[in-house]
Amino acid sequence: MPGEVGFRTGKRGLLKGRPTLVLIHGAGGSAQIFLPQLRFLDRNLNVLALDLPGHGGSDGDGRQTIAEYAQWVHETLNGPYFESFFLGGHSMGGAVSLEMGWRYPEKISGLILIASGVKMEVSSNILRGLAENPHETIVKINRWCYPKGTNPHIIELAARLMEQTPAPTILKDFEACHRFNRLEEIRQIRRPTLILVGDQDVMTPPEISRYLSEQIPSSSLTLIPGAGHMVMLDKPKEVNLAVWDFIAAQSSTGR
C-alpha cells in the first residue's frame, strides 16, 4: 500500500474464501461513516473501508481530481486479498468508484453507488464558504445531509467528525466533485451495479440516481424511504440488506 493507509475492517478482518467489499467515503469524510456496514456485513463478507489520502489515518494530501483519487485506490488495492472485489462508495466516494469502474474494471466484481452521480456540480456559495468560513459552511452541509426533523445533536456530531479532516482538504474534495463529469463515458461501464439513494436526499436527489440507472447497462436502483444523503447512517438495515442481496446474487452467478 502506498504510504500509511488508514482503514477499518469488521471484527473478523479479511479472510480468504469470502467475497470482499471495499468502501470509499465521501468529501471530507473518513472510513468511520461506514461503521454500520462494517458491523453487519462482516458476518458474510470481507469489508474494508478506506481513508482516502489526507483523510482519517491516511498520509498525504487530498487530491485535486476524482481521477487522482481513483488512481490512488487502484494502487492501494494491490495485494493478495484484492484479486477481485466489490467496490462501493458514498457521494464523492461513489464518483471515485465510477471512475474506477471505467478506468480499472479488471478486478471489480460489481459497483455499489450510494447517493452519488455521474456529474456532481457544487454550488459556488459552498465552494466560497469552505474557503472563507469553513466551520459555518460545514455545519450547513451536514444539516442538508440529513432529513428534516433529525436531532440537531446528530448534525452537530457529524459536523465535528467532518472537521477532523483539514479544511483545505475538504475544499479540494468539493472542488474535485465540481469538476467531475463522466456523462460521455458512463455507458462504457459494464460491471453489475447497485445504485442506492434516500428519497429525501437534497444533496444528490433521486433523479440523479435514476439517470445513473438508465445509463449503466447492468444496474438496478433501490430508493430508501425516509433517508437523506447519509442514507447508510439514516437507514443502515435497509442499506445493508440491499448490499448483501446484491453481492450474494452476483457471487452466486460467478461474476
| pLDDT tens digit sequence for 179-208 | 999 999 999 999 999 999 999 999 999 999
Q: How confident is the model over 114-143, as pLDDT tens digits?
A: 999 999 999 999 999 999 999 999 999 999
Q: Which CATH architecture has domain 7-118+181-252?
A: 3-Layer(aba) Sandwich (3.40)
Q: How confident is the model over 92-107, as pLDDT tens digits?
A: 999 999 999 999 999 9
- Neighbour order of strands in the sheet with 46-50: 7-9, 46-50, 20-24, 85-90, 108-114, 193-198, 219-224
Dihedral sign for Cα atoms in the order 49, 55, 60, 61: positive
Q: Residue 213: how many CB atoms within 10 A of its CB?
A: 16
Q: How confident is the model over 201-231, as pLDDT tens digits?
A: 999 999 999 999 999 999 999 999 999 999 9
Indicate the pTM of the whole model: 0.95
Q: How confident is the model over 39-95, as pLDDT tens digits?
A: 999 999 999 999 999 999 999 999 999 999 999 999 999 877 688 999 999 999 999
pLDDT of amino acid 1? 46
pLDDT band at 14; cut points 50, 70, 90: confident
pLDDT of amino acid 82? 87
pLDDT of amino acid 154? 93
> What is the 3-state secondary structure of 108-131?
EEEEEEECCCCECCCCHHHHHHHH
Pairing of strands 108-114, 193-198: parallel
Examine the pLDDT at 255 and tell me if it is beyond 60.
no
Residue recorded with cell 445531509 = 145
pLDDT of amino acid 197? 98
Q: CA angle 190-253-106, nearest 5°?
A: 40
Q: Residue 214: how many CB atoms within 10 A of its CB?
A: 12
Q: Does residue 5 contact residue 79 with C-beta atoms inside 8 Å?
A: no
Set of cell numbers at residue 74: 487502484
Q: Is residue 85 classed as helix, strand or coil in its secondary structure?
A: strand
